[in-house]
Amino acid sequence: LNDKYSKDTVALSNAVSAPPMGVSERAWRRVQRKQQRDLRRGMRFASNAQQQSISFSQQESTLFDRTVLVIELKPNEKGAMDLKHLKSIVTFLLEQHRQHAFGSRIVNKTVTQKKLEIVLLVESPGGAVQDFGLAAAEVGRLSNEKGISTTVCVDNVAASGGYMIASQAHQLCAAPFAIVGSIGVIRESFNLNGALERQGVKGVVLKAGHSKAPISMFGPLTKEDVRTAQRVIDKMHTAFQRSVTDARPALADSVEAVCNGDIYLGTEAKELSLVDRVVTSEEYIFERITVGDRVLKLHQSHQAKFGKHRFTPLDFIRHKSKGALRAAWNNAAKGFGGESGDFLSNLVHAGSFLGFAQYLVRHRFL
């Protein structure tokens, strides 16, 4: 796990150190060297802990005073939210920010990180409370980090769990006709007990603990079971409301009127303090570019597969000798069900070389 983010660190460093459009690499390096000299002089006033936290191998000095990093949280091709990578992304960004990867500056003889803003493009109608609650907690990690500001932009919909995520940002922007809110909890289920009894089939449910799974599909449904299930839903709803009001204190006085499951358009949500600005994501990002911020977009890179095996540049580093490298490719080619011949081995060599060259052009994540 220590090397989990090593490739992403290299890709981020390359993106941060790239010259702006219209600036030659030679002129850019000259500016960076001057700023690094100024920063090193300022480091004389920094504490030992601060000096150790900064790596000059990364390009920590640039012309930009603030970096804006855009991250999409939208449904995939199947219409489902893929939130499993969010926790790794957050951990990676926090690590890089604490190591001054986005730049350093001297303030009152103290070395501090340059400003970093995370812009999340959220689009979701909600889903399982566990998944979206975890995602909201991860966004909260970013918002609670010193030196990082968070902004969520909603162009279409951020309802229920989607709004739970969006509410954790310092600033929430929505398009005029975007749908936000739906701060509620719903549970739906079938109970076939009556239908089965009419067919002469009796459903049997055994459980230990009177509150365990109060509503089942085949067992009888009692009023006590309904009350127990309702208590669970109410408990989740209260936690949902508390999560939103803790992040957005302006809603504390209107929690019962607003956090009741209703949905609102962007313009209406602004009046109710559910959002801070009525603006589209493109308009907001263009604002950041206009004021001179460095704007980057984080995306996941899907490495090419060869059979069931993945090849990365680390495979070239790991096998130093030509014989060991060839043996590695031969072993990988055996995954196709047989001994690999010269033709297949050469094919693997060629494909891996092309994959490595492609990797150099398209950095992972950035």
**DSSP state letters, 103-161:** -EEEETTEEEEPEEEEEEEE-B----HHHHHHHHHHHHHHHTSTTEEEEEEESSEEETH
- State how far the Cα of 144 lies from the Cα of 172, in Å rounded to an integer: 16
Catalytic residue, candidates 160, 167, 243, 340: 160
- State how far the Cα of 279 lies from the Cα of 295, in Å rounded to an integer: 18
301 part of the active site? no
Residue 366, SS3 per DSSP: coil
Q: What pLDDT does 45 receive? A: 53
Closest among 236, 276, 233, 274 to 255, alpha carbons compared: 274
Q: From the first residue on, what is the mean pLDDT of each consecutive set of 10 residues in the chain (366 residues)?
A: 63 72 72 65 52 42 76 78 83 88 70 85 90 93 93 95 94 96 87 82 81 81 86 91 92 88 93 94 92 85 52 44 52 52 50 56 46
Catalytic residue, candidates 212, 235, 254, 305: 212
pTM (predicted TM-score):
0.69
- State how far the Cα of 311 lies from the Cα of 332, in Å rounded to an integer: 10
Q: What pLDDT does 90 receive? A: 92
The one-character DSSP state at 23 is: -
Measure CA 265 to chain center. Answer: 25
Q: What pLDDT does 340 receive? A: 47
7 part of the active site? no
